[in-house]
């Protein structure tokens, strides 16, 4: 039997009871596979890697070594949440690497989107590899592969977590959620006790805010983007939009426009709101946000975020516009 094919008899996990049964089954499988050996996991803070981490902690505790690399392109509070949940609450064996300067220095002056992605992906693997080489006795590599990854690529996505690890490192893979769909992973995550904001987290690209700070990334514009994005997320949560909209975020382009503050003219960046709904990410529709909410978000961002003096709403569906700007 092909272990990468979901059996037709497999019931869709929709309830806490079904999730609990899945968790117990996986704990046995993981313990049988790993025995007393150590497992390494790149913990991004995304839904899939977080659920895999929680599952493995339950099964093998400190035999799991989690490495969280903060590339400086996370959303506001995300790395802090990884430390709070996994280190403080779940008592995980967590290695936290703040590589912000390393990434931002490499990205300095690079404006071409594909080049930015390559730098971020390549450096991530390097940092992870350096951390892995400091550890001894690692026999397994855990990955947050889910079923759509397998369907899309007939195998693991090249950029998925650390799919690009050098050939000379031979780990056996541990992929406990590889036959699950995203909605099932979320149900399992809740049953494992992970916080809702982590489990319901919307899709977030591997290069993070690197593809939303458009053009060449500067620290001041990245900071403005992170703050504006946090305001958008807060207002969507407060107004019941977080559950209604599949993906919503801010993009900040590398351009300035003139504005007025304290009776003086000054230049600032525009913040562009993107809010889309989709079932398969192949096409996407625009969510109609009530004007009063848009006005409130605009007022808050322009008042609270240094450097931003306009707020725009992107009305372009996919096709013709992709979900991300870069």
User: What is the rounded distance in angstroms from the CA atom of residue 325 to the CA atom of residue 251?
Assistant: 7
The answer to whether the beta carbons of residues 129 and 169 sit under 8 Å apart is: yes
Residue 24: pLDDT band by 50, 70, 90 thresholds?
very high
Give the phi and the psi of residue 242 in degrees, each rounded to 5.
Answer: -60, -35
pLDDT tens digits for 224-277?
999 999 999 999 999 999 989 989 999 999 999 999 888 889 899 999 999 999
Q: Which residues contact 25 (CB under 8 A, 6 or more apart)?
A: none
Cα torsion through 164, 205, 221, 228, rounded to 10: -150
User: What is the rounded distance in angstroms from the CA atom of residue 318 to the CA atom of residue 326?
Assistant: 14
Determine whether 236 is exposed, middle or buried from the number of CB atoms within 10 Å of its CB (0-12, 13-18, 19+). Answer: buried
What pLDDT does 157 receive?
Answer: 40
pLDDT tens digits for 153-171?
654 444 334 444 555 557 8
Entry pTM:
0.88
Residues of the chain within CATH 3.40.50.620 domain(s) are 16-199
Q: Which residues contact 317 (CB under 8 A, 6 or more apart)?
A: 276, 283, 284, 285, 286
Give the containing element (helix H, strand E) for 292. Answer: helix 291-304
Q: Is the pLDDT of residue 116 over 80?
A: yes
Q: Which CATH number fits domain 212-313: 2.40.50.180, 3.30.300.10, 3.40.50.170, 3.30.420.40?
A: 3.30.300.10
264-277 vs 247-251, strand pairing mode: antiparallel
Domain covering 16-199: architecture: 3-Layer(aba) Sandwich (3.40)
Q: Is the pLDDT of residue 174 over 60?
A: yes
SS3 275: strand
Residue 306: pLDDT band by 50, 70, 90 thresholds?
very high
pLDDT tens digits for 269-287?
999 999 999 877 788 999 9
The answer to whether the beta carbons of residues 270 and 257 sit under 8 Å apart is: yes
SS3 83: helix
Give the containing element (helix H, strand E) for 297. Answer: helix 291-304
Average pLDDT, the chain: 91
Spell out the alpha helix ranges (H) of 171-264: 182-191, 196-199, 219-238
Q: Match 């625009």 to its residue by tokens.
A: 286
Residues of the chain within CATH 3.30.300.10 domain(s) are 212-313
Tokens standing for residue 182: 């995203």
What pLDDT does 155 receive?
Answer: 43
Residues facing residue 94 across a β-bridge: 66
């Amino acid at each position: 039997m092909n272990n990468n094919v979901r059996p037709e008899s497999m019931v869709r996990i929709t309830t806490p009871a079904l999730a609990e049964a899945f968790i117990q089954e996986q704990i046995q499988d993981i313990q049988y596979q790993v025995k007393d050996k150590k497992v390494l996991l790149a913990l991004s803070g995304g839904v899939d890697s977080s659920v895999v981490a929680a599952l493995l902690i339950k099964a093998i505790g400190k035999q799991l070594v989690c490495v969280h690399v903060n590339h400086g392109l996370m959303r506001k509070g995300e790395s802090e949440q990884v430390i709070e949940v996994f280190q403080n609450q779940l008592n995980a064996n967590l290695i936290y690497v703040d590589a912000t300067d390393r990434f931002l220095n490499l990205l300095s002056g690079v404006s071409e989107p594909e080049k930015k992605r390559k730098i971020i992906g390549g450096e991530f693997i390097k940092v992870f590899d350096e951390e892995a080489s400091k550890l001894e006795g690692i026999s397994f590599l855990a990955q947050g592969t889910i079923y759509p990854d397998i369907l899309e690529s007939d195998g693991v996505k090249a950029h998925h977590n650390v799919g690009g690890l050098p050939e000379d490192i031979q780990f056996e893979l541990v992929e406990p959620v590889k036959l699950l769909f995203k909605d099932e992973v979320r149900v399992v995550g809740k049953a494992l006790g992970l916080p809702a904001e982590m489990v319901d987290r919307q899709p977030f690209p591997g290069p993070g805010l690197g593809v939303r700070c458009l053009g060449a990334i500067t620290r001041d514009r990245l900071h403005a983007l992170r703050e504006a994005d946090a305001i958008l997320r807060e207002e969507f949560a407060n107004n019941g939009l977080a559950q209604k909209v599949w993906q919503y975020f801010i993009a900040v382009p590398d351009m300035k426009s003139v504005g007025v503050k304290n009776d003086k003219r000054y230049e600032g960046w525009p913040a562009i709101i993107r809010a889309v709904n989709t079932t398969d990410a192949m096409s996407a529709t625009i969510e109609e946000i009530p004007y009063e909410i848009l006005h409130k978000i605009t007022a808050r961002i322009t008042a609270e975020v240094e450097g931003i003096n306009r707020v725009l709403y992107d009305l372009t569906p996919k096709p013709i516009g992709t979900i991300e700007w870069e």
